[in-house]
Each structure stands twice: as structure tokens, then as C-alpha cells.
Amino acid sequence: MTTPSAALDSAPTGIWLPIFAGLCASLVSIGLARFAYTPLIPSLIEAHWFSANDVVYLGAANLVGYLVGALLGRPMAHRLTNRNALRLMMLAVTGAFFACAFPLSVTWYFAWRLLSGIAGGAIMVLVAATVLPHVPAARKGLASGAIFLGIGLGIAGSGTIVPPLLSLGLQATWLGLGALSLVLTGLSWFGWPQDTAHVAASAAPDAPMPAAVFRLFAQYAFMAAGLVPAMVFLVDYVARGLGAGAHVGALVWVMYGLGAIIGPVSYGFLADHLGARRSIRLVLLVQAIALGLLAISQTFMALALLAVVIGSFPPGIVPLALARVHELIPNHHRQQLAWSRATVSFATFQAVAGFAYSALFNASGGHHALLFLISAGAILVALTLDFTPWGNSKVLNS
């Protein structure tokens, strides 16, 4: 009997079509749905669609939705199958783009931004678990990087597509993003593999997790808190905080997107050669330094270089954390459960941090540098956790 992996290994198209579908899903649901909002913040304020305070909280709505989606992803897949759940979530993101073209009220916008976040969280939980079991073991690392490369492509795309669309107006920008999302949803529609084995496995009883896995959950949570300020406020910091204007802000965001493209591949390379744990330590140290420098940098060259480094983190840490889960847990079904819980941990702190940073931003009168310094502190906490004795006695392959 031919296994799914063997069949796919003998058919290159069979391998890459599900990977391409996964790339489209991460591109639409995270790369565009979350990150395209960042370069729109100055325009949303200047066009008086919403107040500065409302715009910031509307950005946080997506982070809250991400948490809800991370919690609902597995139950949703159990009812609909992974493939149908992923299709539905991509349609939801597409609908949210079109709905945001009409600023009917803050509540209207919040609801649609929330829905796009729910879709992103569910997709993040399901996409790797849906695609990777159908990929030969020798190609799983490449496949994981390719799937999450979609996040980086979406970030870079938002920085290059949004500015010319904005010349046509905010409404045209949202409609254009919706059209792109619809095309990508259509292209991925028939690329999702069957997932009968995954659904059956979801009914298996949960086994105890190694203690080191819970330390990873805590680290991943602080990583989430650390990446929020640059993710949400970087363009506004350059455009309004430094007075450089929306055009320069967009250029810096393109550099952030370039880093996001580099991140998944380079972080995966580190994991392959140094191991996931050592790679995480190195990446966290570099990120803490970069965020600290961002708080005091004002020249375009410095901002551009820092944007590349910082931009590599949000999409790059995903395959790196996934690789760490695989180091700690050898069983495939328990890996899926651990990854789901890690995503919930990440989403929880990301949502809390989103509102906390928004409140602090408004309370401080728009003090961007303060937010970047706090985020650097959160990254240092994540790094420090890895040197604690918590879980060391039960770490597998650490």
C-alpha cells in the first residue's frame, strides 16, 4: 500500500500544491489581513475615517480575533474537516477586506477586523497540521518555511501594493486588497489535501507534555508581546513620530517586509545547523538589541536596517518554534496538540499586549520609543526563561 508521503514524493506537483495552498493561506490571513493595516494607519487618521485612538484599538481587534481563532481552530476542523475550515477562513478574510472599504462605524470596523483575526488564528493552528503530514520527512523543513513565507510575502506586498492603491483612495485600497485575497483564495481552493488521518487523531487522549514544552509556551508568549509594537506602530513612528511622512514610512515598511521574507528561510537554516533551542537564544538576543536601537534611531539608513532585522522575527519565529516543538515531542499527534497550545499562548499575550500598548500609547501622548523599549524588555524575558532550570530535567533532545 502506498502511503500519502510516498505518493507525494513521487509526484512533485502533489507535494507543492498543498504547500502553495498553505503559503496562500498565511499570506492572506496574516501577511495581508494583519500587516496591511499597519501602513494604512496614518491614512486612516489623516482621512478622518476614525480618530487616532480608535484606529489603534481597531488594530488590536485583529489580535483579539487571533486568540479566538487559535482556540476555535481545532474544534472547527473537527466539525468541518481541516480543508473546509481553511477554505471558510480564507473566505472570511476576503469578506473582511471588502467590508472595511465602508467605514460605517467603529463597531462595524471592529467586528470585521475581529473576524479577520479569528480567521488568521484558526489558519495558523491548522495550516501546518494539514499540509506537513502529506510531505515527505526529508522535505518538511523546506515545506514549513515555504508555508510561513506567505506571511513575509504578505508583509512585503502590503508595503508595495498599499501606497499605489492609496493614491486611488482608502476605499479603493481595501477593495484592491479584497480582490487580491479573493484571487489567492481561488488559487488555493483545490490545493488542500485530504485530512482524514488528522481528524481521526484528534480524538486520541492527551498525553502529558514534557516540562520544557511549557517553558516554550511561556517564551513564545513573551515573544508575542515583544513583536507587537513594531508590527503595529513602526510606520506611524516614522511617518508621524519622526515627521518623515507616509512615503518614507512605507519605504521602511517595505524593508520590514524584506526581513519578513528572509526570516522563515534563514531561521529554518539556523534551526537545521544549530538546533532550534540555540537558534531561539541567538534570535532573541539580536531582536532585543534591534528593538532597543529602534527606540533611539532616526536616520533612514538605521531605520531601514533595523526594520529588516525586526521584520524577520514575526514570521521567522513561527517555524523556529515549531521546530522546537518537534525537538521536544517525537509523537506527531502530540506535536499537533502542543503547537495548538503554543499558538493559543502566543495569541493570548499578543492580544493582551495589543490593548496594553494601545492604552499606553494613548496615555503617553503617542510616545513610540517607550513602546519599543518595553518590547525589548519582553524579548529579554523570553531569553532569560531559556536559562532557567525549569523543565531541564525532562527536556528531550534539548
CA distance 268 to 298: 31
Q: Is 397 exposed, middle or buried (0-12, 13-18, 19+ CB in 10 A)?
A: middle
pLDDT in the model for residue 315:
87
Radius of gyration from C-alpha coordinates of the chain: 20
pLDDT in the model for residue 395:
43
Q: Count how many residues are written for the chain.
A: 398
pLDDT in the model for residue 199:
41
- Phi-psi category of residue 288: left, alpha or beta, with phi > 0 → left and psi -120 to 50 → alpha: alpha
Q: Report whether 388 contacts 205 (CB < 8 A).
A: no
Q: For residue range 53-92, what is the model confidence (pLDDT) as tens digits?
A: 888 788 878 888 988 998 898 889 888 888 999 999 999 9
Q: What is the DSSP letter of 50?
A: S
- For the chain, list residues with pLDDT below 50: 1-11, 196-205, 393-398
pLDDT in the model for residue 396:
42
Q: How many CB atoms lie within 10 A of CB 385?
A: 17
Place of cell 486588497: 177
pLDDT in the model for residue 390:
61
Domains defined for the chain, CATH in brackets: 4-394 (1.20.1250.20)
Helices within 100-139 (DSSP H only): 106-131
